Amino acid sequence: MHLKETLSPNSIPTMYYGVELFFSMNDVTINFKKLRRMFPAKVKRTGDKPYTTEDIQKMLSVTRYKRDRAFILFLASTGARVGAIEGLRLRHVEKISAGCKSVLLYENAEEEYYAFLTPEASKAMEEYFDERKEDGEKLTPESPVFRTTWNRGLINPKSLTVAGSKNIIYRALRHARIKRTKQGNVYDIQLDMGFRKRFNTILKLNNEINSNVAEKLMAHKRGLDGAYLKPTRDQCFYEFSKAIPDLTISPEERQKVTIQQQEKEISKLGRERKKIDHLEEGVNIISTLMSEQWVKNDIWKELENPTHHHTEQQILSLKKFVKSPPEQEFWKMFLEWSKRGSEVYHV
């Protein structure tokens, strides 16, 4: 009865498989199949709710340290597991474009993949790095991205651990008075996985994002795509960039991102309008030139079988017209139009 009250039926297989492996490695023969038949029925999983953007806003409002702010925004932007933090070094972080950064997680491991920071998260990380430099720390490619609390004179600061990472989140939740509901032994929002579930939800609900690439950004490996789909870093970032407005936490920063995207869209529409205007102008010029040529063709056909209606002088004049180059004014317009085309289509 005590175990029923303290253990979830879903936890039994995880605990059991370690015991099974122990006996197997020691050549102890047991009917494991019969034992597995005795597992209790699984129950509905709890802890599957994500943090809301408002929850993270509250966390940031009570965060005192630049490290903690940068760390919370890092999780919100990447959806990374906290287990990836300890091995993260500065050489794994690179500027990419649009004020964003790429982060290589689990370098050289089977789970290796690229995550990305929004402009908001990138800015917070830069401010954190600047603070460390001002404190006298010499940042190198091998310096940890997130370190333990800094002490002056400390030569080799240690990387933030999993326990330290969870403590940052726990303090932010407590100070922000964000309540989580405990269901059995698990909270409805898991301490660290709440960020990851939010990230996953935002990507999956955006119909413009390639769902297979979204799985890569979550480091999920499912089916054949897990083995054969190998998008480049830039291809992954292209899909990630579509979710930047929704991943951004601050209302002010989100508004900036929205305005920037609108300006890009307006600029794109302006370029498309120029192309359309240029094509319409070209159609008019070419139509005029072709009309002239059609007239010359008709005259030439008639001159092949001249009638008594034309005098010899008229025939000579018509032949001269047919053989003449296009009207200079329209030909000049055509050449200028062609030259402008290279400017319009290579902006």
pLDDT tens digit string along 135-168? Answer: 888 899 999 999 987 665 556 788 999 999 999 9
Across 54-58, 213-217, 319-323, least confident range: 319-323
How confident is the model at residue 108, as a pLDDT?
A: 87
Identify the H or E element spanning 216: helix 211-217
Residue 308: pLDDT band (50, 70, 90) is low
Mean pLDDT on 330-338: 71
**Nearest to residue 72, comparing CAs of 188, 212, 198?**
198
Across 19-33, 188-202, 320-334, least confident range: 320-334
Identify the H or E element spanning 95: strand 93-95
Pick the more confident residue, 39 or 241: 241
- pLDDT, tens only, 20-66: 788 788 877 887 777 777 777 776 665 578 999 999 999 999 998 99
**Nearest to residue 197, comparing CAs of 9, 332, 68, 51?**
51
pTM: 0.69
Question: Which residue reads 């932007």 in tokens?
Answer: 77
Residue 318: pLDDT band (50, 70, 90) is low
For the chain, give the mean pLDDT.
82
**Nearest to residue 118, comparing CAs of 53, 65, 49?**
53
Pick the more confident residue, 217 or 254: 217
Residues 6+ apart with CB under 8 A from 242: 206, 208, 209
Alpha-carbon distance of 146 to 128, in angstroms, equals 9
How confident is the model at residue 92, as a pLDDT?
A: 96
How confident is the model at residue 20, as a pLDDT?
A: 78
Residue 129: pLDDT band (50, 70, 90) is very high
